[in-house]
Chain A
Amino acid sequence: MRELSQHILDLLQNGIEAGATRLELDIDDDEQANRLTITVCDNGRGMDEETLQRVTDPFYTTRTTRHVGLGLPLLQAAAERCAGGLTIASQPGQGTVVTATFQRDHIDRAPLGDMVTTVMSVLLSAHECDLVYRHRANGRVFTLDSAELREALGDVPLSHPAVRSWIQSYIQEGLDALNGADDEASSGAVAKESDNATSQVAG
């Protein structure tokens, strides 16, 4: 996959396939530590120890429609070739946490890429699942919580064309503000990390 955001989408889809009702995605882009960390946590059905041991084997999958499962092995290979790695923790009935780390400036590290479309792909999933997306960079954090969006929308679905366009712009503006100048980060969905707030969507 050409972008890390495609791997991220794959991880989030794994959570949806595991029956999760809530996903948490954390991206920590730490320039000082020269590390990019991606964590996806779901409350799906989880895995037992035996499944967990086999999950990075490309010839293992829980699916019955095909016989290979390449998502996690591809991500593991991408992380390991960038002096990073992949860890997976899971409990049956509790959920799964997948963490991938990358040396941020490694020559082989793929760009993060189109996070807006990745997040939209999850929000538009036919299997309704809430997503909390936290993205840290430059000492700031952008947070999107789909449960808050749904609450504000009532019975209007996230897939409504006007709503969909609004959310796309909302994410794009939030991510732009993460990389903007100092005075741009103090409002809306972006906060300085020292504000110690986890949900920064203005209401």
Chain B
Amino acid sequence: MPQVKSLDELRKLREQVKEEISTRIETGTTIIVGMGTCGIAAGARDTMHAILQELDKRQISAHVRTVGCIGMCAREPLVDIEQAGKPRVTYGNVTPDMVPRLIEEHLKNGHVIEEWVVGRKTTDEIGL
């Protein structure tokens, strides 16, 4: 029988995590997935699902956000990885099966997968 959660659990979780919040926001990683019509039709939601699963599986703390169409529809699903102090890297045509390598190489090992990159923003451009 499924056990439905209650908001009390969420309040307890808040107490557990709030102390590390400021550190995480300043130094952490954010993964941004394009979720316009073009992204959704190209499978962006499945890509995001794969990203969430992979992060949970490897217990990697990263924020995941969604954004609308940025006009590069032919390269959807688009996934940006933003890490404090580093250029923001945009990967194109990211399918769910590419996600484990993306997380392993970019997040774990710190190596950009050049053949999948479709754009970069320097730290100046993103205001860091």
Q: How far is the CA of A189 from the CA of B7 in the complex (A)?
A: 9
B27 at the interface (CB under 8 A from A): no
Q: A13-B35, A152-B14 are in contact. Are A183 and B45 (CB under 8 A)?
A: no
A184 at the interface (CB under 8 A from B): yes
Contacts of B16 in A (CB 8 A): 162
Q: Mark each residue of chain B from 56 to 73: 1 if its CB lies under 8 Å from any CB of chain A, else 0.
A: 100011111111111101
Query: Is A161 in contact with B55, judged by CB distance below 8 angstroms?
Result: yes
Query: Is A13 in contact with B40, judged by CB distance below 8 angstroms?
Result: yes
Taking a contact as CB atoms closer than 8 A, the residue among A121, A152, A187 that contacts B35 in the complex is A121
Q: A156-B14, A156-B17 are in contact. Are A164 and B64 (CB under 8 A)?
A: yes
Q: A66-B69, A124-B66 are in contact. Are A6 and B2 (CB under 8 A)?
A: no
In the complex formed, the residue of A with least CB distance to B16 is: A162
A55 at the interface (CB under 8 A from B): no
Q: How far is the CA of A5 from the CA of B48 in the complex (A)?
A: 14
Contacts of A161 in B (CB 8 A): 55-56, 60-63
Q: How far is the CA of A114 from the CA of B55 in the complex (A)?
A: 19
B1 at the interface (CB under 8 A from A): yes
Q: A152-B11, A162-B17, A166-B9 are in contact. Are A117 and B2 (CB under 8 A)?
A: no
Residues of A contacting B: mostly: helix
A94 at the interface (CB under 8 A from B): no
Contacts of B33 in A (CB 8 A): 121
Chain B interface residue count, CB cutoff 8 Å, equals 46
Query: Is B4 in contact with A114, judged by CB distance below 8 angstroms?
Result: no
Contacts of A162 in B (CB 8 A): 13, 16-17
B5 at the interface (CB under 8 A from A): yes
In the complex formed, the residue of A with least CB distance to B74 is: A66
Query: Is A160 in contact with B63, judged by CB distance below 8 angstroms?
Result: yes
Query: Is A188 in contact with B5, judged by CB distance below 8 angstroms?
Result: yes
Query: Is B14 in contact with A153, judged by CB distance below 8 angstroms?
Result: yes
The interface of chain A, by Cβ under 8 A from chain B, is 1, 5-6, 9-10, 13, 16-17, 63, 65-66, 69-71, 74, 114, 117-118, 120-122, 124-127, 148-149, 152-157, 159-166, 168-170, 173-174, 176-177, 180-181, 183-184, 187-190, 201-203
Can you give 6 A-B contacts (C-beta < 8 A)? Answer: A126-B65, A156-B17, A161-B60, A164-B64, A184-B2, A187-B4
